[in-house]
């Protein structure tokens, strides 16, 4: 093929040398607007895994890169006068100029033609001049090619919240260093790493509001550098900071990171009588925030995959389809992690109340790619020390004596106690409320006794009963449980007594009203489908049909309806106390009645219960306040909310923080942070722990306890969430359906035996401990 690469960065150069290596008959030209060996970057970072990929793709290039790397294992975090170090991270730094030199030299060795100081004004003219069969657009973040063919590539470009500047220093750092400094205007942070024998990259970053307040917008380059030198004088310890972009002055030296996502990476042109693909690669196709050091990694791995696809497919269309299919998923995963990392650094203020050890742990695990057990593999001593630190504080706050730290018996974060009002939970795992559709006339029976009893004996600190309805017309289905008759209260009392008698778990009830999502069939007969017969009237904040053209239409609630339903919630709350429940949760999520008031998607009222967020929360808050007054003061109450509607114009995570603050002021102890199910137009972004960021924001911005939910399915997830302060409790649902003793099972996997067991299982626990002790002695 005749191949033209627009842009002589890592992506274009590496793809060119790989293609030339695979088939020397290819004629490949790289066109670069800068002079030979020019670059405006400092250093780039690779993980050991990326180096392995490079070694497999082209060993001579990889070995030359390896000879030029500065390698380190430690990460140092400086915060509030403290330094926290963790090891085993396995990163390498190399100067960007040196990396480009290596790639350029390898291209020349293989016969790739390099054209420097050449602007590409018209890619089609360039393709025609070279009789190109393939055009690679690796022209960077500000890609002209992507802009020209935006209709094909469908880019989404989002300028982020921080301003940052790339600087360098002659100070050598023996660890990847993160330094955080508080000023009168807000927080600044530096990302620092050494990349050759004498130079380190020094990135200074701060939210734009802080940047403006500090006056940096109007400072010359020299004054701005002097400001940064003074701010991070402790880390620099003498040497100054340098810029390699003297042409940039004032605000121009400070960059806003553009997050780039393209739905398609290939555009086809008719050039010289043939169809010629123009393929995006590297930053032109996608960007990954520098805080996880993966922009260059993505570019090189794009090149590896595209070259591999052309090696496997004779047909260009098939090769390009395979390329995008293979890379899109990997890029999406890494961009998701990069977004988490980026948002953490944009919101350092959110975590500034933490003590240095937890702040550093939160930073290390910010992307959700680096887990608790992965940290342990990297640096077991660091994790053990942190677990002991965390456990000591948790036991103290719970009013319990802390266990003595021993080399092999640190308490995993998920097994530390947690106190809410007068209730002490033995660990941080609760069983989510999960609808079972097995009640008869709202009365629970043996099925619920077995379902909740088994999970209470399975090691969790507390089990949540499914949404329990406050009146007959509040039910989702005819098979939903209730707390509106004495018979129902007595049936619940039997289950609560069983849990208390046979386990040391607590039991909570979630009270709710289905609203416009009521009067439907049980799930296995048609989820959200209305009953064939026997439907009851529905109410909602505003007239609403949950499934357009299918569901009943709910009418808007009147003030009289509000009074009646508030009384229903209060009566159910008193019944919950009579039944002996330890905890009450108010359901204000998932499009049910109280959720329909909160979301602007379902609340179109023109009175004091509609309009602003505060007005939309007015009725749910009124119900909660009345329930709190009826519920014993020493017992906790939580509120489940949909922290994100996943629909444009709906509730956002920022709104969720405001909602949480309102319920906190009304006396709520915790927010149960779910999302969605308000509209069928929703487009959730699923993944491991995908709703945990909502709990993180609510806990650390609203200052209220938070319960994390959603795709938490192993101890590693729960330990990381609790240890990082992203939530106080983890609600685990589906795994407990598969295994009622999920919590005990995860404890066994960790080798942790100091966990409460059901009374009748104590002999089995003792036998397990004896067996484990024998295995330890044998080892």
Q: How far apart are CA 182 and CA 185, in angstroms?
A: 8
Cβ(592)–Cβ(620) below 8 Å: no
Whose tokens are 């991270």? That residue is: 89
| Stretch (H or E) spanning 163 | strand 155-169
Cβ(87)–Cβ(73) below 8 Å: yes
Name residues whose C-beta falls within 8 Å of residue 269's C-beta, 6 or more positions apart in sequence: 123, 124, 127, 135, 275, 276, 277, 278
**Measuring CA to CA, which residue among 617, 549, 559, 608 is closest to residue 588?**
617
Name residues whose C-beta falls within 8 Å of residue 587's C-beta, 6 or more positions apart in sequence: 467, 510, 511, 512, 513, 594, 595, 640
**What Cα–Cα distance (Å) separates residue 4 from each residue in 1, 279, 308?**
10, 11, 18
Name residues whose C-beta falls within 8 Å of residue 401's C-beta, 6 or more positions apart in sequence: 395
Q: How many CB atoms lie within 10 A of CB 688?
A: 16
Q: How far apart are CA 167 and CA 174, in angstroms?
A: 18
Q: How far is CA 440 from the centre of its chain?
A: 40
Cβ(554)–Cβ(539) below 8 Å: yes
CA angle 693, 597, 547 (to 5 degrees): 85
Cβ(488)–Cβ(443) below 8 Å: yes
CA angle 639, 644, 648 (to 5 degrees): 145
3-state DSSP assignment of residue 261: strand
**What Cα–Cα distance (Å) separates residue 13 from each residue in 7, 19, 30, 66, 142?**
8, 10, 7, 18, 18
Q: How far apart are CA 189 and CA 197, in angstroms?
A: 24
Give the 3-state secondary structure percentages of the chain, helix then strand then coil, rounded to 5: 45, 20, 35
Q: How far apart are CA 503 and CA 521, in angstroms?
A: 34
Q: How many CB atoms lie within 10 A of CB 772?
A: 13
**Measuring CA to CA, which residue among 118, 115, 213 is closest to residue 163?**
213
Q: How far apart are CA 244 and CA 338, in angstroms?
A: 26
Q: How far apart are CA 367 and CA 382, in angstroms?
A: 19
Gyration radius of the chain's alpha carbons: 30
3-state DSSP assignment of residue 538: coil
The single residue of 193, 592, 609, 619 carrying the catalytic annotation is 592
Q: How far apart are CA 204 and CA 410, in angstroms?
A: 37
| Stretch (H or E) spanning 15 | helix 10-22
**Measuring CA to CA, which residue among 284, 287, 286, 297 is closest to residue 136?**
284
**What Cα–Cα distance (Å) separates residue 89 from each residue in 47, 175, 379, 383, 473?**
8, 10, 8, 13, 57
In the DSSP assignment, the letter for residue 353 is T
Which residues are bridge partners to 556 per DSSP? Answer: 540
Cβ(689)–Cβ(725) below 8 Å: no
Is residue 382 among the annotated active site residues?
no
- Which residues are catalytically annotated? 592
């Amino acid at each position: 093929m005749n191949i033209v690469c627009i842009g002589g960065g890592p992506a274009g150069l590496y793809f060119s040398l790989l293609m030339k290596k695979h088939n020397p008959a290819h004629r490949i030209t790289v066109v670069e607007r800068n002079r030979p060996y020019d670059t405006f970057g400092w250093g780039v970072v690779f993980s050991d895994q990326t180096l392995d990929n490079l070694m497999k793709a082209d060993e001579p290039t990889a070995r030359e890169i390896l000879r030029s790397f500065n390698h380190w294992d430690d990460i140092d975090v400086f915060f509030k006068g403290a330094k926290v170090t963790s090891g085993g991270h396995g990163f390498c730094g190399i100067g960007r100029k040196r990396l480009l030199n290596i790639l350029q030299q390898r291209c020349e060795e293989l016969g790739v033609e390099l054209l420097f100081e050449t602007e590409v004004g018209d890619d089609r003219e360039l393709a025609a001049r070279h009789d190109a069969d393939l055009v690679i657009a690796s022209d960077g973040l500000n890609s002209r090619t992507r802009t020209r063919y935006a209709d094909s590539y469908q880019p989404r470009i989002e300028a982020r919240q921080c301003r940052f500047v790339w600087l360098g220093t002659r100070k050598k750092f023996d660890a990847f260093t993160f330094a955080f400094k508080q000023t009168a205007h807000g927080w600044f942070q530096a990302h620092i790493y050494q990349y050759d024998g004498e130079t380190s990259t020094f990135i200074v970053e701060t939210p734009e509001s802080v940047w403006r307040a500090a006056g940096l917008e109007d400072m010359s380059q020299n004054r701005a550098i002097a400001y940064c030198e003074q701010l991070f004088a402790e880390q620099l310890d003498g040497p100054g900071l340098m810029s390699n972009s003297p042409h940039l002055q004032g605000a121009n030296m400070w960059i806003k990171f553009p997050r780039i996502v393209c739905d398609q990476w290939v555009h086809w042109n008719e050039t010289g009588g043939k169809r010629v693909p123009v393929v995006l690669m590297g930053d032109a196709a996608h960007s990954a925030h520098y805080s996880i050091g993966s922009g260059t990694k993505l570019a090189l791995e794009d090149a590896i995959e595209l070259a591999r696809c052309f090696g496997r497919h004779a047909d260009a269309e098939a090769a390009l389809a395979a390329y995008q299919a293979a890379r899109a998923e990997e890029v999406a995963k890494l961009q998701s992690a990069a977004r988490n990392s980026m948002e953490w650094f944009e919101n350092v203020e959110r975590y500034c109340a933490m003590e240095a050890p937890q702040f550093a742990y939160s930073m290390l695990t910010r992307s959700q790619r680096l887990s608790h057990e992965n940290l342990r593999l990297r640096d077991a001593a660091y994790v053990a020390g942190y677990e002991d630190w965390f456990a000591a504080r948790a036991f103290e706050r719970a009013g319990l004596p802390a266990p003595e730290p021993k080399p092999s018996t640190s308490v995993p974060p998920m097994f530390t106690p947690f106190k809410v009002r007068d209730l002490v939970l033995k660990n941080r795992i609760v069983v989510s409320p999960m609808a079972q559709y097995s009640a008869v006339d709202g009365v629970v029976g043996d099925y619920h006794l077995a379902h909740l009893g088994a999970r209470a004996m399975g090691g969790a600190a507390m089990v949540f009963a499914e949404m329990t309805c406050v009146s007959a017309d509040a039910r989702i289905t005819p098979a939903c449980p209730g707390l509106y008759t004495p018979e129902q209260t007595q049936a619940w009392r039997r289950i609560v007594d069983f849990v208390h008698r046979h386990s040391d778990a607590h039991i909570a009830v979630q009270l709710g009203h289905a609203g416009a999502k009521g009067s439907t069939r049980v799930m296995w007969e048609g989820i959200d489908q209305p009953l064939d017969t026997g439907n009851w009237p529905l109410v909602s904040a505003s007239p609403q049909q949950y499934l357009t053209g299918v569901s009943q239409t709910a009418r808007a609630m009147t003030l009289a309806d509000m009074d009646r339903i508030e009384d229903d919630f209060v009566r159910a709350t008193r019944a919950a106390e009579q039944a002996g429940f330890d905890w009450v949760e108010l359901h204000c999520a998932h499009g049910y009645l109280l959720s329909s008031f909160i979301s602007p998607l379902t609340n179109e009222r023109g009175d004091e219960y509609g309009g602003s967020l505060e007005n939309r929360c007015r009725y749910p808050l009124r119900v909660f306040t009345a329930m709190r007054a009826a519920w014993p003061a020493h017992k906790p109450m939580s509120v489940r909310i949909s922290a994100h509607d996943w629909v444009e114009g709906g509730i956002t995570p920022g709104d969720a923080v405001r909602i949480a603050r309102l319920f906190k002021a009304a006396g709520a102890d915790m927010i149960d942070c779910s999302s969605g199910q308000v509209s069928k137009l929703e487009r959730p972004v699923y993944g491991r722990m995908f709703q945990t960021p909502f709990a993180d924001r609510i806990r650390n911005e609203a200052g209220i306890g938070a319960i994390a939910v959603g795709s938490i399915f192993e101890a590693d997830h729960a330990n990381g969430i609790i240890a990082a302060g992203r939530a106080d409790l983890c609600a685990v649902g589906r795994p407990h359906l598969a295994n009622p003793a999920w919590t005990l099972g995860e404890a066994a996997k960790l080798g942790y035996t100091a966990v409460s067991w059901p009374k009748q299982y104590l002999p089995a626990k003792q036998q397990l401990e004896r067996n484990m002790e024998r295995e330890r002695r044998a080892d």
